[in-house]
Protein backbone atom coordinates (compact mmCIF):
# COMPACT_ATOMS: atom_id res chain seq x y z
CA UNK A 1 0.00 0.00 0.00
CA UNK A 2 2.80 2.43 0.89
CA UNK A 3 4.52 1.73 -2.44
CA UNK A 4 1.29 2.52 -4.29
CA UNK A 5 0.87 5.80 -2.39
CA UNK A 6 4.50 6.76 -3.09
CA UNK A 7 4.09 5.95 -6.79
CA UNK A 8 0.88 7.99 -7.02
CA UNK A 9 2.54 10.96 -5.27
CA UNK A 10 5.46 10.79 -7.67
CA UNK A 11 3.16 10.62 -10.68
CA UNK A 12 1.13 13.58 -9.37
CA UNK A 13 4.33 15.57 -8.90
CA UNK A 14 5.52 14.73 -12.43
CA UNK A 15 2.12 15.70 -13.83
CA UNK A 16 2.29 18.96 -11.90
CA UNK A 17 5.73 19.77 -13.33
CA UNK A 18 4.48 19.13 -16.87
CA UNK A 19 1.50 21.42 -16.29
CA UNK A 20 3.80 24.15 -14.95
CA UNK A 21 5.91 23.95 -18.11
CA UNK A 22 2.83 24.76 -20.21
CA UNK A 23 1.93 27.85 -18.17
CA UNK A 24 3.01 31.45 -18.72
CA UNK A 25 5.43 32.96 -16.16
CA UNK A 26 2.52 34.93 -14.67
CA UNK A 27 0.49 31.74 -14.20
CA UNK A 28 3.51 29.99 -12.68
CA UNK A 29 3.94 32.81 -10.15
CA UNK A 30 0.25 32.55 -9.23
CA UNK A 31 0.53 28.79 -8.68
CA UNK A 32 3.73 29.10 -6.66
CA UNK A 33 2.30 31.77 -4.39
CA UNK A 34 -0.62 29.48 -3.55
CA UNK A 35 1.66 26.56 -2.67
CA UNK A 36 2.19 26.16 1.07
CA UNK A 37 5.62 24.61 0.51
CA UNK A 38 6.76 27.69 -1.44
CA UNK A 39 5.47 30.09 1.21
CA UNK A 40 7.24 28.00 3.85
CA UNK A 41 10.50 28.23 1.89
CA UNK A 42 10.23 32.02 1.59
CA UNK A 43 9.60 32.24 5.34
CA UNK A 44 12.71 30.17 5.98
CA UNK A 45 14.79 32.46 3.76
CA UNK A 46 13.52 35.47 5.71
CA UNK A 47 14.56 33.75 8.93
CA UNK A 48 18.02 33.07 7.50
CA UNK A 49 18.41 36.74 6.60
CA UNK A 50 17.55 37.74 10.17
CA UNK A 51 20.15 35.32 11.52
CA UNK A 52 22.93 36.87 9.41
CA UNK A 53 21.75 40.44 10.04
CA UNK A 54 21.83 39.87 13.79
CA UNK A 55 25.41 38.63 13.57
CA UNK A 56 26.45 41.65 11.50
CA UNK A 57 24.75 44.06 13.92
CA UNK A 58 26.55 42.44 16.86
CA UNK A 59 29.89 42.87 15.08
CA UNK A 60 28.98 46.47 14.31
CA UNK A 61 28.15 47.22 17.97
CA UNK A 62 31.36 45.62 19.22
CA UNK A 63 33.53 47.40 16.65
CA UNK A 64 31.84 50.72 17.40
CA UNK A 65 32.58 50.35 21.12
CA UNK A 66 36.22 49.37 20.59
CA UNK A 67 37.16 51.72 17.78
CA UNK A 68 34.58 54.53 18.09
CA UNK A 69 33.34 54.10 14.55
CA UNK A 70 31.04 51.76 12.64
CA UNK A 71 32.46 49.28 10.12
CA UNK A 72 29.38 49.57 7.90
CA UNK A 73 26.98 52.33 6.98
CA UNK A 74 23.86 50.30 6.24
CA UNK A 75 22.46 46.85 5.55
CA UNK A 76 19.89 46.08 2.86
CA UNK A 77 18.17 42.73 2.49
CA UNK A 78 15.62 41.05 0.28
CA UNK A 79 14.11 37.73 -0.68
CA UNK A 80 14.05 37.42 -4.46
CA UNK A 81 10.65 38.06 -6.05
CA UNK A 82 8.82 34.97 -7.36
CA UNK A 83 8.95 36.33 -10.93
CA UNK A 84 12.73 36.70 -10.70
CA UNK A 85 13.04 33.20 -9.23
CA UNK A 86 11.07 31.68 -12.10
CA UNK A 87 13.01 33.64 -14.74
CA UNK A 88 16.34 32.49 -13.28
CA UNK A 89 15.20 28.85 -13.10
CA UNK A 90 14.15 29.00 -16.77
CA UNK A 91 17.35 30.80 -17.80
CA UNK A 92 19.46 28.07 -16.21
CA UNK A 93 17.36 25.25 -17.60
CA UNK A 94 16.09 23.89 -14.28
CA UNK A 95 12.67 22.32 -13.80
CA UNK A 96 10.46 24.56 -11.70
CA UNK A 97 9.83 23.04 -8.27
CA UNK A 98 10.21 24.19 -4.68
CA UNK A 99 12.92 21.58 -4.15
CA UNK A 100 14.91 22.80 -7.17
CA UNK A 101 14.60 26.43 -6.10
CA UNK A 102 16.17 25.60 -2.75
CA UNK A 103 18.78 23.25 -4.21
CA UNK A 104 19.88 25.14 -7.33
CA UNK A 105 19.74 28.85 -6.43
CA UNK A 106 22.18 30.49 -4.02
CA UNK A 107 20.80 34.02 -4.07
CA UNK A 108 17.11 33.72 -3.21
CA UNK A 109 17.99 35.34 0.13
CA UNK A 110 20.32 38.31 -0.21
CA UNK A 111 22.01 40.82 2.08
CA UNK A 112 24.01 43.85 0.95
CA UNK A 113 26.39 45.46 3.44
CA UNK A 114 27.53 48.99 2.58
CA UNK A 115 30.86 50.04 4.12
CA UNK A 116 32.82 53.28 4.05
CA UNK A 117 36.20 51.65 3.43
CA UNK A 118 37.49 48.60 1.56
CA UNK A 119 39.44 47.53 4.65
CA UNK A 120 36.18 47.27 6.60
CA UNK A 121 34.72 44.98 3.94
CA UNK A 122 37.45 42.39 4.47
CA UNK A 123 37.32 42.81 8.25
CA UNK A 124 33.57 42.13 8.40
CA UNK A 125 33.75 39.26 5.92
CA UNK A 126 36.57 37.67 7.92
CA UNK A 127 34.79 38.03 11.27
CA UNK A 128 31.51 36.70 9.87
CA UNK A 129 33.22 33.75 8.15
CA UNK A 130 35.00 32.79 11.39
CA UNK A 131 31.77 32.14 13.31
CA UNK A 132 31.57 28.43 13.98
CA UNK A 133 27.87 27.99 13.23
CA UNK A 134 28.27 29.40 9.72
CA UNK A 135 29.75 27.74 6.66
CA UNK A 136 31.16 29.76 3.76
CA UNK A 137 30.25 27.82 0.62
CA UNK A 138 31.59 30.22 -1.98
CA UNK A 139 33.63 33.41 -2.23
CA UNK A 140 33.73 35.67 -5.29
CA UNK A 141 36.06 38.63 -4.84
CA UNK A 142 35.18 41.19 -7.50
CA UNK A 143 37.17 43.85 -5.66
CA UNK A 144 40.53 42.22 -6.26
CA UNK A 145 39.27 40.76 -9.55
CA UNK A 146 36.67 43.16 -11.00
CA UNK A 147 34.22 42.04 -13.65
CA UNK A 148 34.98 43.09 -17.21
CA UNK A 149 32.43 45.92 -17.02
CA UNK A 150 34.13 47.35 -13.90
CA UNK A 151 31.77 45.91 -11.27
CA UNK A 152 33.36 45.58 -7.82
CA UNK A 153 31.99 43.81 -4.74
CA UNK A 154 32.80 40.93 -2.42
CA UNK A 155 30.25 38.11 -2.58
CA UNK A 156 29.93 35.31 -0.02
CA UNK A 157 27.48 32.41 -0.12
CA UNK A 158 26.94 31.55 3.54
CA UNK A 159 25.06 28.62 5.01
CA UNK A 160 23.37 29.42 8.30
CA UNK A 161 21.18 27.28 10.55
CA UNK A 162 17.68 28.42 11.41
CA UNK A 163 15.81 26.94 14.35
CA UNK A 164 12.16 26.14 13.73
CA UNK A 165 9.60 24.65 16.10
CA UNK A 166 10.28 21.11 14.94
CA UNK A 167 13.66 21.17 13.25
CA UNK A 168 16.99 22.85 12.63
CA UNK A 169 17.55 23.63 8.98
CA UNK A 170 20.54 24.99 7.04
CA UNK A 171 19.75 27.80 4.60
CA UNK A 172 21.92 29.65 2.07
CA UNK A 173 22.23 33.43 1.97
CA UNK A 174 24.24 35.56 -0.45
CA UNK A 175 26.03 38.40 1.36
CA UNK A 176 27.45 41.22 -0.78
CA UNK A 177 29.93 43.72 0.65
CA UNK A 178 30.49 47.07 -1.10
CA UNK A 179 31.79 50.50 -0.32
CA UNK A 180 29.43 53.46 -0.71
CA UNK A 181 31.21 54.33 -3.96
CA UNK A 182 30.92 50.78 -5.34
CA UNK A 183 27.22 50.72 -4.50
CA UNK A 184 26.67 54.07 -6.24
CA UNK A 185 28.37 52.80 -9.41
CA UNK A 186 26.45 49.48 -9.38
CA UNK A 187 23.13 51.27 -8.88
CA UNK A 188 23.70 53.70 -11.76
CA UNK A 189 25.05 50.93 -14.01
CA UNK A 190 21.95 48.82 -13.31
CA UNK A 191 19.63 51.69 -14.23
CA UNK A 192 21.50 52.51 -17.44
CA UNK A 193 21.43 48.89 -18.59
CA UNK A 194 17.67 49.08 -19.03
CA UNK A 195 17.70 52.27 -21.10
CA UNK A 196 16.33 51.61 -24.59
CA UNK A 197 17.63 52.90 -27.92
CA UNK A 198 21.05 53.88 -26.53
CA UNK A 199 23.39 55.19 -29.20
CA UNK A 200 27.00 53.93 -29.16
CA UNK A 201 26.43 51.28 -26.44
CA UNK A 202 30.06 50.13 -26.63
CA UNK A 203 31.25 53.66 -25.88
CA UNK A 204 28.86 53.86 -22.91
CA UNK A 205 30.21 50.56 -21.56
CA UNK A 206 33.74 51.91 -21.88
CA UNK A 207 32.85 55.14 -20.08
CA UNK A 208 31.21 53.21 -17.24
CA UNK A 209 34.34 51.08 -16.91
CA UNK A 210 36.44 54.24 -16.68
CA UNK A 211 34.11 55.56 -13.97
CA UNK A 212 34.50 52.28 -12.06
CA UNK A 213 38.29 52.65 -12.18
CA UNK A 214 38.06 56.26 -10.95
CA UNK A 215 35.77 55.20 -8.10
CA UNK A 216 38.22 52.45 -7.16
CA UNK A 217 41.03 55.00 -7.01
CA UNK A 218 38.91 57.26 -4.79
CA UNK A 219 38.18 54.32 -2.45
CA UNK A 220 41.89 53.58 -2.22
CA UNK A 221 42.78 57.21 -1.55
CA UNK A 222 40.10 57.56 1.14
CA UNK A 223 41.50 54.45 2.81
CA UNK A 224 44.99 55.98 2.75
CA UNK A 225 43.72 59.24 4.27
CA UNK A 226 41.98 57.37 7.08
CA UNK A 227 45.15 55.40 7.79
CA UNK A 228 47.17 58.64 7.92
CA UNK A 229 44.68 60.14 10.38
CA UNK A 230 44.72 57.06 12.60
CA UNK A 231 48.51 57.04 12.62
CA UNK A 232 48.58 60.71 13.61
CA UNK A 233 50.24 61.96 10.41
CA UNK A 234 47.56 64.60 9.87
CA UNK A 235 46.83 67.22 12.52
CA UNK A 236 43.26 68.32 13.21
Residues of the domain holding 69: 35-180
Domain CATH for 46: 3.30.460.10
Is 19 a domain residue? no
Q: Is 119 a catalytic residue?
A: no
159 falls within a domain: yes
Tally of structural domains, the chain: 1
154-163 and 135-141 as β-strands: parallel, antiparallel, unpaired?
A: antiparallel
Q: What's the mean pLDDT in 167-190? A: 95
2 part of a folded domain: no
pLDDT for 26-54, tens place per residue?
A: 777 777 767 788 899 999 999 999 999 99
Kindly state whether residue 7 falls inside one of the protein's structural domains.
no
SS3 28: helix
Question: Do the domain assignments include residue 221?
Answer: no
> Does the residue 109 lie in any domain?
yes
Given the residues 174, 202, 230, 231, select the one marked as catalytic: 174
For residue 10, tell me if it sits in a domain.
no
Whether 201 is covered by a domain: the verdict is no
Question: Residues of the chain with pLDDT > 70: what percent?
Answer: 87
Summarize pLDDT for 56-100 with one digit per residue, the tens: 999 999 999 988 889 999 999 999 998 899 899 989 999 888 999
Distance of alpha carbon 85 from alpha carbon 79, whole angstroms? 10
Q: What pLDDT, in 10s, does the model give residues 185-215?
A: 999 888 887 666 777 878 888 999 999 999 9
Q: Rounded distance, CA 122 to CA 115, Å?
A: 10
Continuous H helices in the chain: 2-22, 25-34, 36-67, 82-91, 98-104, 118-129, 180-193, 201-230
Q: Which one has a higher pLDDT value, 16 or 70? A: 70
Please tell me the pTM assigned to this model. 0.83
Amino acid sequence: MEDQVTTMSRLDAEKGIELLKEMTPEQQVSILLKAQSFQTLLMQYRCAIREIQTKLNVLNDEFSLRHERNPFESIKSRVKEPTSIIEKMHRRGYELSVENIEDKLNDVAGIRVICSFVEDIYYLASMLSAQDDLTVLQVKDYIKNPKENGYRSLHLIIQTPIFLSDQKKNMRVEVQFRTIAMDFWASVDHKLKYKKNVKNPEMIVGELRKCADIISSVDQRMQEIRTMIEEGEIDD
